[in-house]
Structure 1
Amino acid sequence: MFEDSGGTAGLVSVPVPGRRAGRGTALVAAARAVHESVGRRNAVVRLPASPAGIRALADLLAEGIGVHAALVFSGGRCAEVLDAYVAGMERALAAGRPLGAAPLVVSFPVGRFDREVEARLDALGVPAGAEVRGAAGLAVARRMYRVREERLSGDWWRVLRANGALQPRLLWGPGAEGGVGALVGWNTALALSVETLEAAALAPALTGDTLLNADAEAACALRALERLGVSAPEVAAVLEAAELHRLRHGRPVRRGSVPAASPGSGSSSGPAAEQP
């Protein structure tokens, strides 16, 4: 699958030890060690997208090592990851390395974000049937999708693409509302539990891309939450801090899930990610 797809499918995500999550130099060294020990072209090293992780990400991509940027909780952090990807690809190009050898996957645990927001709405006494319920994670995912479109619209990206750079892949965990069908887009994937995958197979047929040109609706949903006192950037910061603490104390990022393809992804499109 990996060879037939030109390196865009069949990727396997291998985590760097969580105790290195906040240490820049040590994180790069640990990621190199993981990459060398696995020794497979379809392996990407999984790093938390903390500030230290993003700095390490650019260094690793410049060396030709593919990266899975995990625990991305906001459009702003996604933009930082994509900027680091372009910077790493620029350095790889200058060094004469093949750009297609270093893919990037960016994952957002939509359901984890939804649960945090829903708990805050419960505390505020927002009725269960309110329109804002179950909308937060999907809104952030739509914003990330738009951020990627913006970052890959420039002339310099076209130069990198012409020299073999792969389009960064976005990887979701399904959220509270809309399920699998609400998170379909080009060069994206879903990390699903077996139970969720089986339920999706019994649901109505998918209707195609549901992420493209949905940024305005996402912005409205996030503003509605803000008016109620729920700040998406604050939620993102709280979740990132909690997840980094969890990693540093030896708890795993994910428990079993399987990748499901979206349009443009081939028969499979990315490594498993954080459990939603």
Structure 2
Amino acid sequence: MRLLRSVRIALAVTAVCAAAALISQAVRAPSSVPASCPERWGGDRPGGWVPAAADLEGVEESLVPGEPVTAMICAYPGDNARPGGERLAGSRILTAEAGAMARDLDYLPVTTADPGGPCTQMGGATTNYLIRFAYPRGEALWVGSAEEVNSCVTTTNGTVGSRSYVGPDITAAYRTGTWNPARPDDPCHGFPGRRGQDGRMVPGEPVSVLVCGQAPYDGRSPRLEHGRQAAEDLAAALNSLDARPGENVCRGGEVAQGDTLLLLFGYREGPPAAVRILTACDPGVDNGLLQANLDANARDQVKRLAPPA
């Protein structure tokens, strides 16, 4: 009889402990972002808005940290002449390609400051997007962006933002259910960005640099590509400049042919880091987030690596 009573007490204690453990797990469970798309866009400009910033590790350094398992795209079409309050038009869920989408967005250069800058003012259609990335343990993260006729969009997770333009890629993913970012036919005609360019003009360890000259009105941009040593030396020269947050503007005289160069630093993985050189402007170095004045060392290296005008 005593043995039976002891067994019952032991089972009761076990049950209480198990219940306490379940309650503890429920209390510690990560809070989730609402699982449905908001009925209206809550921002007042193309992109740049999310319903709430996520409390996830890494959101201060990356738009989409970690490895989400699904991505739900919510679309809000409208017009940039009447921004704000656009109604939800539909949604699309990506599963197999959510990780690839997250990795590509993770590479974009970000800043905690307002990444805004001057924009052209053409009127036209705009589609705002919210993307809800869901993680295996129940966490979730909103990213807000847009496709806009002026390509003047901020993409944000509510903590950091990027001016890198990915609107057409999100539109294609929403329409097709696949993530397949378009690459420019001519790299010299793009201005890509890479994570870390908010802190250094050229982040990481580049393995090559493509130097693109200014394209004539009726032809292809002149260019020269250089290997690792030239890329490392040029990156070191640019990183030694006294950089400051960029305003995406410069002051100077008339820009002549050969005064503008685009440097595309290549890496073993991920997108290139772009730096624009404007020798007739002050400041003359701009990576989209940082600006700096050219010194004699950087100017000489750029001139030596530039293609013939």
TM exceeds 0.5? no
With structure 2 as the length reference, what TM-score do the two structures score? 0.24
Higher Cα Rg, which structure: 2
Bigger proportion of residues as strand: 2
Bigger proportion of residues as helix: 1
